[in-house]
Structures are given as C-alpha cells and as structure tokens.
Amino acid sequence: MEATARVIAVADGRARLACEDRAACASCGSGRGCALRWLSSPGRPTLDVPDQTEDRRHLRAGEAVIVETRDGEVLRAAALAYLPPLAGLLVGALLGRGLAAGPGEGAALAAAVAGLSAGIWTARAWSRRYPPRIRVRLAPEDR
C-alpha cells in the first residue's frame, strides 16, 4: 500500500507528514467507519516518522514523499484494532452471564460493556506500542 504525503514540519529527529492521497476504503477521508481512525489521537490526521529516508537523506519541510507499508502490516494493524474489543465484548458477556445470579440480563450487559471497554483500551495500547512498519522515500521529481 502506498500513499503520497508532504513533509509539513521537521523537528527533533522526527518529520510530520500530511497525507495527500485518500485511503483505499475512503472511511478515513469521510470521517466515519474505520476503527483505526477511532484508535488514533483526536485532531491528529498526520503521521510522525523519523526524519531520514532509508538512504539516510534528511527530509525537509515541503518535500513530497511516498509512504509505503506492506499489506501484511495493514492486516496486522486491523487485527490489533478489531480483535481485542470483540474478544472483550464476548468474554465480558460470558463472564457476566455465568456470574450473574438469577435471570437478569443487566449483569451480562454491564460485564459486556466492561469487556468492550477493556478491549478498546488494550487495542489502543497495543497499536501505539506496535505501530505498522512503514517505509518513507522521496517522491519522483516529475510529480
């Protein structure tokens, strides 16, 4: 997967990129849908990367770059975003149902919500600790 981006700032060994291409599914651009967008920090549609390309060239503000990631990395990031909340929801509902005394479903619902919350928190923590590996290279001059 590739996207064209522009370097908007360089400071302290990091470069901030603003993506110019739309995502393949168009959910991010429209502001709806994708759990990966929910897991990112609010108001931060940019990407922070090291300020050097693979060939050790320093990036400068205003340069066009190409950001690449393998499809497997995208699938891994999606799994980190979706599976922990789903597992938390299911496990919480099962635990709430098993531990609840009587026919009430309130305990199962509360436990499912608690499990979902724990799953979302876990997904956020994992996705920040293990972000997708990306490769940044300069865009061709003729673009």
Q: How many CA within 13 A on the CB side of residue 63?
A: 21
> Closest Cα to residue 49, out of 36, 59, 64, 35?
59
Does 21 have pLDDT greater than 80? Answer: no
Q: State the CB neighbour count (10 A cutoff) for residue 5.
A: 22
Cα(61)–Cα(5) distance, integer angstroms: 11
Higher pLDDT, 2 or 112: 112
pLDDT for residue 100: 67
* Tens of pLDDT, residues 41-52: 455 467 778 888
Confidence of residue 71 (pLDDT cuts 50, 70, 90): confident
Q: What is the pLDDT of residue 142?
A: 38
pLDDT digits 0-9 by tens, 105-123: 788 888 899 999 999 999 9
Report yes or no on whether pTM surpasses 0.85.
no
Q: Give the pLDDT of residue 26.
A: 53
Q: Is the pLDDT of residue 59 over 80?
A: yes
